[in-house]
Amino acid sequence: MSAAGWFIVLLALVGANLPFLNQRLFAVMPLKLHADGNKTAKKGVWIRIGELLILYFAVGALGFMLEARAGNRFDQEWQFYAITFSLFVVFAFPGFTYQYLVKRR
């Protein structure tokens, strides 16, 4: 496996855990709870799932770009996308565990 392939796998691991490891939208923009802007909101599960989907497509687009740059882009069918999305969700398990299953005091 080439360095670009390992880079995409590492990027997918980081991208899959990013929604669960912080309370900011895409780790950049804080969510506002009140109009006065003093208190920040905690991200809901649907926002995290939306981020996960968007990051899946972003990492996939980067992977296709690297594959095309290498000169051997292959056409993919639905099975490829089902398997890569499943793998992306499995990569998200450490972040999910940290966010929802680890008890904090």
pLDDT value of position 74: 78
Range of the domain at 27: 3-101
Q: Cα 95 to the chain's mean position, in Å?
A: 10
Q: How many domains does the chain have?
A: 1
Can you state the angle between helices 45-70 and 78-91, rounded to 10 degrees?
120
Residue 33 CB contacts under 8 Å (≥ 6 apart), including other chains: 39, 40, 41
pLDDT value of position 13: 96
**Given a cut of 90, is residue 32 above it in pLDDT?**
no
Q: pLDDT class for 87, splitting at 50, 70, 90? A: very high
